[in-house]
Amino acid sequence: MKVADVIHDNIRLSGLAKTAGPVLAIVGLAFLGLSVLLSSGASESTADMAGADVFWKSYLFAFISALGICMGALFFVLLQHLTRSGWSVSVRRLAEGLAKNLSWLWMLFVPILILILSGKGSLLYDWANSEYMSHAHMPHSKETFLSPNFWSIRAIVFLLVWSIVSSLYFRWSTKQDHDGDVKWTHKMQKWAPICMILFALTQSYAIIDWVMTLQPKWFSTMFAVYYYAATMTAFFSVIILLARFLRNTGHARQSITTEHYHDLGKWLFGMGVVFWAYIGFSQYMLIWYANIPVETGWYMTRQLGGWAPISILLLVGHFIIPFVLLITRWTKRWSYTLPIIAGWLLIMFFVDMYWLVMPVVPEAAIIHADSYNQLAKTVSANEIGYGFNIVNFTCLIGMISLVFGGTLLNLRKCNLVATADPRLDEALHFENT
């Protein structure tokens, strides 16, 4: 296919693809509203705090899941400009559309900020309770770091950086479609190194602030990298599914070829399966080998009761099965098998995020235990975290629907392919060797 023919490849959203965006956005808002109603009902029939606890945990789980998809997309966009890759031009606009959601995703974090600043943050984080901090024997530096005001300021900075970077790259890329000026490519390449550093710092600190501090005494030097690996799983799964959806609706059939599916499949295999497993095992091995209760307690919660099968599911479903399926060439090139595998891995990503957020070990058990064996004997399975609740699912469906709907809305007024990118010809004639 020639560059001049791309414009005739149905690269503008139409029909079902165009109407799906607003519908998904409405569905997302409806499910978030339903989550609030269900949690309010729970608080009336049960203990007040219990209903609120479930809601805020579910909300955080859903938010970091939605965030992970968009952050993975932003990383991909920055990386393509940083390395000046040509093969990805055909699919990069889809990633830009996903990343552009970061310009409004901050609004979904506002309720959490309000919770923290209103003095009710203990519903979600123990450290937000001043009484807990006074008796928890925390290092002074950590007490300062986890103060509600400082925590909120950092969160605002993170969200602001992501919003600005994602908006700028989407605007520059789409402007190039209209004027064809190569200066936009040079500008995106020029700013890619700085933006990549900002991305790495903000994402690392954000996931430490928002997820690791759910158990404030626990720490892992590899936790931020683990979340990054998970975002790779989420993003490459979603972009494969999105490309397939567009193909099924008659869009960009010649611009996004089997070769692009193949490369996306390789990325999904390398980053979303192998790298994720490597980081997960490395974190587990280092913590388990040290056998320090304050560290091993985090894993203990995920090996007792109903959480043990979920841990096994992640090992089998997130690594072993996809590894076997994606290691072959034909599964990555066949347009039917790759989306199925991508859909499965997206589900595993959601399970992974749930596994990160929901279980919590009792603080008292950690304090009084000298080893993991002692922890396992003194803590019963029913003391660990929360079981499955319908609010978990309604929050997740709501936020993911908003992300998918927002992506289609972002792409409604622009080309699905970067038609004026100087490397488009390379992308159209790209072949895997």
pLDDT digits (tens, 9 = 90+) for 46-64: 434 447 888 999 999 999 9
In which element (H, E) is residue 225 found?
helix 223-248
The pLDDT confidence band at residue 279, using thresholds 50, 70 and 90, is: very high
Please spell the DSSP secondary structure of 148-165, one letter per residue: HHHHHHHHHHHHHHHHHH
Q: Which of 180-194, 230-244, 306-320 has the lowest mean pLDDT?
A: 306-320
Which pTM does this prediction carry? 0.94
Calculate helix-pair angle for 258-267, 337-357, nearest 10 degrees.
30
Give 203's DSSP letter: H
8 A C-beta contact, residue 28 and residue 402? yes
Tens of pLDDT, residue by residue over 137-181, are: 666 667 788 899 999 999 999 999 999 999 999 999 999 999 999
The rounded percent of the chain whose pLDDT value lies above 90 is 72
Local structure of 250: helix, strand or coil: coil
Q: Are the C-beta atoms of 29 and 398 separated by less than 8 Å?
A: yes
Mean pLDDT of 283-300: 85
Contact by Cβ (8 Å): 341, 327: no
Average pLDDT over residues 294-311: 82
Long-range contacts of 218-221 (CB under 8 A, 24+ apart): 218/294, 218/295, 218/297, 218/298, 219/295, 220/283, 220/287, 220/295, 220/298
Note the pLDDT of residue 139. Answer: 63
Length of the chain: 433
What mean pLDDT do residues 237-250 have?
Answer: 95
Confidence (pLDDT) at 13: 94
Mapped onto helix, strand or coil, the DSSP state of residue 12 is: coil
| Tens-digit pLDDT profile for residues 371-423 | 656 666 666 655 566 668 899 999 999 999 999 999 999 999 899 999 999 99
Q: Under DSSP, is residue 421 helix (H, G, I), strand (E, B) or coil?
A: coil
The least confident of 24-28, 94-98, 244-248 is 244-248
Average of per-residue pLDDT across 272-283 = 97
What pLDDT, on the 0 to 100 scale, is given for residue 408?
97
| Confidence (pLDDT) at 54 | 85
**By the 8 A CB rule, do 299 and 314 touch?**
no
Q: How far is CA 84 from the centre of its chain?
A: 25
296 vs 27 pLDDT, higher one: 27
What is the average pLDDT value for the chain, to the nearest integer? 90
| DSSP codes of every residue in 24-41 | HHHHHHHHHHHHHHHHHH
pLDDT band at 254 (very low <50, low <70, confident <90, very high): very high
